[in-house]
Structure 1
Amino acid sequence: MTVDGNSIQLSGVRVNNLQNVSVRIPWHQLTVVCGLSGSGKSSLAFDTLFAEGQRRYVETFSPYTRQFLDCLERPDADRIEGIPPAIAIRQNAWAQQSQGTVGSRTEIYDFLRSLFVRWGTEYCPECAVEVRAWNPQTVAQHFSDAEVAGRIMVAFPSQEAADVLLSRGFTRVLQSDRSGLAVVAVEEMEQNGECLVVVDRLKPGPDSRTRLVESLATAFFEGGEQCCVLTESTVAGAELVSVDHSEWYQSRFSREPVCSCCQRAVAHLNDALLNYRSLGQCSVCQGQGTVATFDLEAVADMAATVEGGAVLVWQEGPGRRQQKQVLESAAELGLRTGIPLAELSVQERRILQHGVAGSSFDGLDGLYQRCLESRAEAAAKLRKKWNSISRCSACNGTRLNEDARAVRLNEVSIADVLDLSVSRLSEWLQSLAARLPDVAGSSVLRQLRNRVSYLDDCGLGYVASSRALSTLSGGERQRVALTSALGSGLINTLFVLDEPTAGLHSSDASRVIRVAEQLRDCGNTVVVVEHHPDFIRAADHVVETGPAAGREGGQIVFEGRAGELVQSQTPTGKLLSRPTPGEALQSPPRRRPSGWLRFDNATCHNVIGVSGA
């Protein structure tokens, strides 16, 4: 084989069933490896090309670092040259990641968090009132924007004694009297209860801006991160008070995000708050979005009654005690035990599932938790038999706690945005850019739009960013990984793909082909194990293994351009040369069904309320 500087050269490869083959993979081109199943395609693409590319990349690290990395074995070959660092995207990639989602894998979730941190607004989860953390500069700007007229008093709340305040240089306080507030000298103040210590009195204006900021800084420091500003003119959100029989408007500020209505403290708005792997995770499901429990509908016969043993998990092991408790305390719990479960009210079903607060009856959830904590064999057996996974009721499957869900941008939370399909997310980003000009020109929005566009181009416009990776098919996972690869901006890298069109309708295959071509056009070498005729025709270079499977395969039966493959007599060449590839295939005779599998109102992911047979 001729050695050149523009390709990957493999000589004498003997991996698995490959029989001492030699092949050339051109750099910066789209190469398709095709052939019969078992003919050696994956052995060439993954066990040779990817394995050697990753092995050489890992060897560039220090010996200390390499001990923490998984290194693939050196492929059995005489010579491998010109191979760049390699990334493999296989059909079973990240299938078991319990917390991985489409959004996290494609970095859509990361950029959405940046968007909400920069332009989002915190609200109190209980009062729905805007919550904000203030500092001297933002408070001064707040009154500057309000164009306050008249005098301003800057103060802070305190319960210190008069001599302490005097020692710190403060001479006036605001104390409550019968008519409201009154300005009194520190020496004359009453020594009981809280008062407002006056830091400064000034008139607003450009010349007093620096003085106002300094006074606010002093008030925040002395007041334990809290301060109070009183103005003679009205300000949005201010409370009307009487000071020395005159009307003033009082505004309270805190460096900590605290609700002005219920005084509930809220976490600071930052990236960690909106991350379900960090401070923002739901405390019940630990950021999983689901919990394991005894689900009522899964462990009960809904047509039977509680008295008739409808709850099957209560008929064995430690469940019998809870059955007895329900029958004895039905009236107290507010349960009707003599009618079918299907006819119980929503509240009664909720009692059976979650129990009653303040009561010894903790429902099926409590029974599952006791079985989980128990070391008894009967409890473990009961849990394994009736265990079911259900959506977390605390976060409604969003994985986020209530503080994170209360952050809003363009009137929606980040959980709402993640639940949008990719197509609808693109529309939301467009409307956001129209409403907020500052967002429109940001690099964060540009990166988000690129990744959403890549997903849509791959035929995944129906998938939500919150969709768990473990629920995707192999082909869907690969296309998500393609989006991640395009968004990474990597160049001079070898990407090895494993049938990215798997599970796709033929009309959607062209989208994936375009994405693979984009990856190539970025300056990468793309090798695809693929059977789809359109993908093979779109390739710059084609390698076919064969001529058969197993020991009869492992040879290179064709190497060249797709147009030349059509003229060859290889199995793939014959298939591509047919005007309609399926016309020569004979379908087996249809069998007559012996029965029907029926389903009613099936709902899962993007399947909603489907019935059929």
Structure 2
Amino acid sequence: MSDFIEIIGAETHNLKNISVKIPKNKLVVVTGLSGSGKSSLAFETLYAEGQKRYLESLSTFARMMISNTSDATKVREIRGLSPTIAINQKTVSNNPRSTVGTITEIYDFYRLLYANIGIPYCPNHPEQSLKKDTIQNIVEDIKKNDEGTKIFIVFPLSTIKNNVEEMSMKEISQIVSDKGFVRYIKGNKVFSVADAVEEKNISVEDVSIIVDRLIVKNSDETFFSRLRDSLLLTSEKSSGIIEIFYPSDDTFKKYSLGNFCPQCGYISPKFSLSNFSFNSHFGACDDCGGLGFRTTFEEKDIINFDLTLEEGAILPWENSKYYLSILCAVCEKYKIPMNKPYGKLTEKQREIILYGVDEKFSIIFDSNSEFYKKGNIYMCRYEGIIPKLERHYADSENKTQSHMRNVLKFATEKECRTCQGYRLKKPFLMVKIGGKNIGELASMSVEQTLDFFEKLEFSQEEKIISEGVLKNIIDRLHFLQGVGLGYVTLARRAHTLSGGESQRIRLATQIGTQLEGIIYVLDEPSIGLHPRDNDMLIKNLKKLATLGNTVIVVEHDEDIMRESDYIVDIGPGAGIHGGSVIFSGTYPELIKNSSTETSLYLSGKKEIVRQNPKKMSTKKFLSIYGAQENNLKNINVRFPLGCMTVVTGVSGSGKSSLVMDILSNALLNYFNKSSLPVGKHEKIEGFEHINKTIIIDQSPIGRTPHSNVATYTGVFTYIREVFAASNDAKVRGFNVGKFSFNTKGGRCEVCEGNGTKKIEMHFLPDVYVECEACKGTRYNDDVLSVQFKGKNIAEILNMTIEEASEFFVVFPRIKRVLDVLIDVGLGYITLGQSAPTLSGGESQRIKLAYDLSKRSTGQTLYILDEPTTGLHFADVQKLLDILDALVEKGNSVIVIEHNLDIIANADAIVDIGPNGGDAGGNLVFAGPKDKILTVKESYTAQALKKYFAQKNKKTS
């Protein structure tokens, strides 16, 4: 078997027919500038070819059912290739049923544990554990009676007729007879099925069927044999419920071979694995369907309290003549003033507007629509805004996507009151281990859960049953902790995870599989990780390699490169200027013998330096008081304005809760009149010092192929205007709209302007294939025949931003935007690159470029969430220059960041921690950068000291 993976003649995307040898069973870093071709080599060549060969090994039928992801792969040969697994950042599930626990399969092991050794409790007496009887212990109880005691072995009629409350004596007699018995007890009196008793409305709860009548004979083995047989027969007929009736004093003693409460007689249903699954109707809460939340519509989210009804206080109906016409009739009938601010209406008036009335009103509309004609009289009922929104939400399957987007923007998720967010039916939440139900256990952080199991005591029988299950749980929890995710709870929904968190969770899962001989390809696993946790990540990456796997990491982190076994540097530039292997070898060889951009920064010959650092002399601050969102510990934080502040801290410390959940949302609500949920806090002061806020996070710029770089930045409108003004277009009578792929006329109608067709795979992710009609161009032949400077509009969309900037050099409105995109390091992406294919870092830089292309007004607050994601050292320098320029123009910048190059160049630092989860949420430090180094409890200070020491060592 070869010791190397040998790639020969790779030409995927911008790769220039490159060949490279990669050592097996090692930790290998692929690095280079953004857009240089790293992902093309690692993911779209190596990983894709591995997938292609795997598919070729399957049957024809199996290949039909699985999408081939490697159609774009162009490589002459790859030798020494093993099975490949990709762990990237783009596979975060949006399914609300997907959680950290389900992804890692730890929740499945929880289900096994609770189904086998969980102790059920009574819902009516929560401190009472339920008792389970056996035939033997019932016999032992009966033995305690005096010799000659009469006993009847009976079972309640309700166990076989639990859906009926009352019956006649005749009906009861018939049922008893049908079951093969002849006597029953009503109240404390014995009846025979032959008795002619005319009585109706007998409560089923008052009737018990007699299976056997015995006299206690403790010395007679025949008696005990018959007793056991009768008890067994009774349990079979009654699902385990057995009663002993003592006619001497008319008393019943109840037993259950299942779980029952000795205080109230509550009987727990039998439970299995499916009862602890929120994805099964056997276990899922009936009210929320196993989601843990319910979608509701609240007055505060759908009403502007400062506006009158005439001015559009009801936000969903701002532009609806139909509903406003009905509302006018309602207000006239119930004397509700439409010229009075909504907030000043009475509670009764507001209730009518929100929840409607039953009666119908005569309405005459003053215009035509598809629903009504002008001048006609219609009888219309006013159902109220909240019932209407709820009805539309419930009928989502029959509504268009755009309609549902309009409905959902007024919706709020509220924790389900029935299950308290734990997703399961109440009887199964009453099953506990160590005093906690499965929902409570899943809601604990990884670190807390490890501590819980460490202190948990088991009986000898429980140890034997749970040993294997518990080992799997604890091993997986340790793997999660080992990749810096000790603060994450297993109940956390997958869609709330960042790309880095999601990737590290799947990395931990792969470590847990203990596979060997695999090629793992990872995309920047250090994203979102504080330098403190880098050592743990590196240790786990090396653990994968020592198991006999090849770990290939696309990465820019200096620590990971330093600890790697081998480095492949792709470049020298981005896009058409990249695509070559400019170095391959070890870290020492890279910094000694290479002159690549990577080696220049690693060796200290180049440094990331801010040109115009500021001193904190400002007297203007944005101040948050009493921040308590998530794990924040009622902290007060001041952000200086007119400078660059970096908010840092270990993963899960509370940075995003402070900056994004509280500050960002509060600012957007203040300046944009939004109604975003703002994290818990007392007050925020300082809004008057800024005139607008721009939030630049890593959310996609769009979620469909119709969204791309050109449409998001607005340059596509200008480009379409250029084409519409061309001679070709004028001759054909084409206007600007003809060059849109979103509307009929110019787009390809087969794919509706997508350039691809979606094939639903049902049990697999949807597959997108190139449209056969337009060959991916999005347009019809008429539009493609129009050219400007020898290019049609589809060819323009396939240009890189760098190429397009030169092409449109005489069009300042287009060139200005494109040049800013180049400045933020995005010259390599194409104008038409669809939004879903962009990384979080690329999306963020596109947003930044779009805002930078606008005219600066000063006094703007820019908030950025980890903008260095996916950036090479040279690109970080470009980003720093841009942030520096923003501050120079009188703006303020707040950056959430772990990158030490950015932190070291900040004017001020806000450090949240000291740890993640419950051990975080404190303000460790806030102030000028140079003063943090003396704060002993700050992990950021420790990392900065190490950073400056290494920097000095490089330059000495």
Question: Is the TM-score greater than 0.5?
Answer: yes
Q: Does 1:370 align with 2:391?
A: yes
Q: Does 1:587 align with 2:587?
A: no
Deviations 1:286-344 (A, max 9, x none): 3334444433332234678999986645766476567987998899xxxxx99959999
Q: Is residue 314–residue 322 contact of structure 1 (8 Å, CA) maintained in 2? A: no
After TM superposition, the structure 1 = structure 2 runs for residues 25-36 of structure 1, keeping only pairs within 5 Å, are 25-36=22-33
CA 1:228–1:432 in structure 2 vs 1: closer, same or farther (change >3 Å)? same
Amino acid at match of 1:221: E
C-alpha displacement of 1:482: 0.8
CA 1:557–1:499 in structure 2 vs 1: closer, same or farther (change >3 Å)? same
Match of 1:501 in 2: 526
Return the alpha-carbon distance in structure 1 between the equivalents of residues 94 and 119 of structure 2.
Answer: 35
Q: Is residue 299–residue 386 contact of structure 1 (8 Å, CA) maintained in 2? A: no
Range with greater deviation from structure 2 (159-168 or 86-95): 159-168
Match of 2:17 in 1: 20
Match of 2:63 in 1: 66
Q: Is residue 173–residue 189 contact of structure 1 (8 Å, CA) maintained in 2? A: no
Q: Does 1:540 align with 2:586?
A: no
Q: Is residue 290–residue 397 contact of structure 1 (8 Å, CA) maintained in 2? A: yes
Match of 2:487 in 1: 462
After TM superposition, the structure 1 = structure 2 runs for residues 233-382 of structure 1, keeping only pairs within 5 Å, are 243-246=246-249, 250-253=253-256, 268-279=270-281, 280-301=283-304, 312-313=315-316, 317=320, 365-372=386-393, 373=395, 380=403
Q: Does 1:44 align with 2:67?
A: no
CA 1:97–1:385 in structure 2 vs 1: closer, same or farther (change >3 Å)? closer
After TM superposition, the structure 1 = structure 2 runs for residues 435-446 of structure 1, keeping only pairs within 5 Å, are 438-439=462-463, 442-446=467-471
Identify the match of residue 135 of structure 2 among 133, 140, 145: 140
Q: Is residue 129–residue 261 contact of structure 2 (8 Å, CA) maintained in 1? A: yes
Q: Does 1:215 align with 2:240?
A: no
Deviations 1:143-198 (A, max 9, x none): 4787962276532245787799789886765554xxxx467888789786634404
Q: Is residue 4–residue 24 contact of structure 2 (8 Å, CA) maintained in 1? A: yes
- Structure ranking higher on relative contact order (CA contacts 8 Å, 6+ apart): 1
Give the unaligned 5+ runs of structure 1.
Answer: 232-242, 332-336
C-alpha displacement of 1:469: 1.4
Amino acid at match of 2:291: Q
Aligned length: 577
TM-score (norm 2): 0.52
Amino acid at match of 1:272: S
SS in 1 for 2:543: helix
Return the alpha-carbon distance in structure 2 between the equivalents of residues 288 and 86 of structure 1.
Answer: 34
C-alpha displacement of 1:9: 1.7
CA 1:119–1:558 in structure 2 vs 1: closer, same or farther (change >3 Å)? same
Identify the match of residue 230 of structure 1 among 244, 248, 256: 244
Match of 1:113 in 2: 111
Q: Is residue 305–residue 341 contact of structure 1 (8 Å, CA) maintained in 2? A: no
Q: Is residue 541–residue 560 contact of structure 1 (8 Å, CA) maintained in 2? A: yes
C-alpha displacement of 1:46: 0.3
Amino acid at match of 2:550: T
Return the alpha-carbon distance in structure 1 between the equivalents of residues 248 and 308 of structure 2.
Answer: 70
Range with greater deviation from structure 2 (527-536 or 189-198): 189-198
C-alpha displacement of 1:353: 8.2
After TM superposition, the structure 1 = structure 2 runs for residues 127-166 of structure 1, keeping only pairs within 5 Å, are 128=126, 138-143=133-138, 149-150=144-145, 153-158=152-157
C-alpha displacement of 1:55: 1.5
C-alpha displacement of 1:51: 0.4
Range with greater deviation from structure 2 (435-444 or 421-430): 435-444
Identify the match of residue 503 of structure 2 among 478, 482, 495: 478
C-alpha displacement of 1:44: 1.1
RMSD: 4.7
Return the alpha-carbon distance in structure 1 between the equivalents of residues 536 and 37 of structure 2.
Answer: 27
Deviations 1:383-427 (A, max 9, x none): 448523312434444333434433333222211111111111112
CA 1:400–1:65 in structure 2 vs 1: closer, same or farther (change >3 Å)? same
Amino acid at match of 1:154: I
Identical pairs, percent: 28
Match of 1:573 in 2: 599
SS in 2 for 1:78: strand
SS in 2 for 1:28: coil
Q: Is residue 133–residue 268 contact of structure 1 (8 Å, CA) maintained in 2? A: no
CA 1:472–1:146 in structure 2 vs 1: closer, same or farther (change >3 Å)? farther
Give the unaligned 5+ runs of structure 2.
Answer: 158-168, 358-380, 632-653, 658-678, 687-956
Amino acid at match of 1:576: L
CA 1:537–1:283 in structure 2 vs 1: closer, same or farther (change >3 Å)? same
C-alpha displacement of 1:585: 2.4
Amino acid at match of 1:214: D
Return the alpha-carbon distance in structure 2 between the equivalents of residues 452 and 44 of structure 1.
Answer: 33
Match of 2:582 in 1: 557
Range with greater deviation from structure 2 (54-63 or 198-207): 198-207
Match of 1:197 in 2: 210
SS in 2 for 1:113: helix
C-alpha displacement of 1:219: 1.0
Return the alpha-carbon distance in structure 1 between the equivalents of residues 408 and 179 of structure 2.
Answer: 70
SS in 2 for 1:156: strand
SS in 1 for 2:69: coil
CA 1:12–1:167 in structure 2 vs 1: closer, same or farther (change >3 Å)? closer
SS in 2 for 1:272: helix
Q: Is residue 161–residue 191 contact of structure 1 (8 Å, CA) maintained in 2? A: no
Return the alpha-carbon distance in structure 1 between the equivalents of residues 263 and 356 of structure 2.
Answer: 32
Return the alpha-carbon distance in structure 2 between the equivalents of residues 604 and 272 of structure 1.
Answer: 31
Range with greater deviation from structure 2 (550-559 or 210-219): 210-219
C-alpha displacement of 1:216: 2.3
Deviations 1:521-549 (A, max 9, x none): 23322111111111112212222222222
Deviations 1:465-500 (A, max 9, x none): 111111111111111111111222322222111000
Q: Is residue 306–residue 341 contact of structure 2 (8 Å, CA) maintained in 1? A: no
C-alpha displacement of 1:42: 0.7
Deviations 1:89-133 (A, max 9, x none): 111112433321111111111111111111223445566486979
CA 1:164–1:86 in structure 2 vs 1: closer, same or farther (change >3 Å)? closer
Q: Is residue 10–residue 17 contact of structure 2 (8 Å, CA) maintained in 1? A: yes
Return the alpha-carbon distance in structure 1 between the equivalents of residues 344 and 113 of structure 2.
Answer: 46
Q: Is residue 114–residue 444 contact of structure 1 (8 Å, CA) maintained in 2? A: yes
Q: Is residue 295–residue 353 contact of structure 1 (8 Å, CA) maintained in 2? A: no
Q: Is residue 258–residue 265 contact of structure 1 (8 Å, CA) maintained in 2? A: yes
C-alpha displacement of 1:27: 2.4
Amino acid at match of 2:299: L
Identify the match of residue 81 of structure 1 among 79, 82, 88: 79
Range with greater deviation from structure 2 (43-52 or 283-292): 283-292
CA 1:132–1:63 in structure 2 vs 1: closer, same or farther (change >3 Å)? farther
SS in 1 for 2:75: coil
Return the alpha-carbon distance in structure 1 between the equivalents of residues 346 and 459 of structure 2.
Answer: 48
Q: Is residue 295–residue 388 contact of structure 1 (8 Å, CA) maintained in 2? A: yes
Range with greater deviation from structure 2 (267-276 or 525-534): 267-276
Return the alpha-carbon distance in structure 1 between the equivalents of residues 49 and 533 of structure 2.
Answer: 33
Match of 1:9 in 2: 6
Amino acid at match of 2:153: V
Amino acid at match of 1:140: I
Q: Does 1:398 align with 2:437?
A: no
Match of 2:435 in 1: 411
Q: Is residue 314–residue 323 contact of structure 1 (8 Å, CA) maintained in 2? A: no
TM-score (norm 1): 0.78
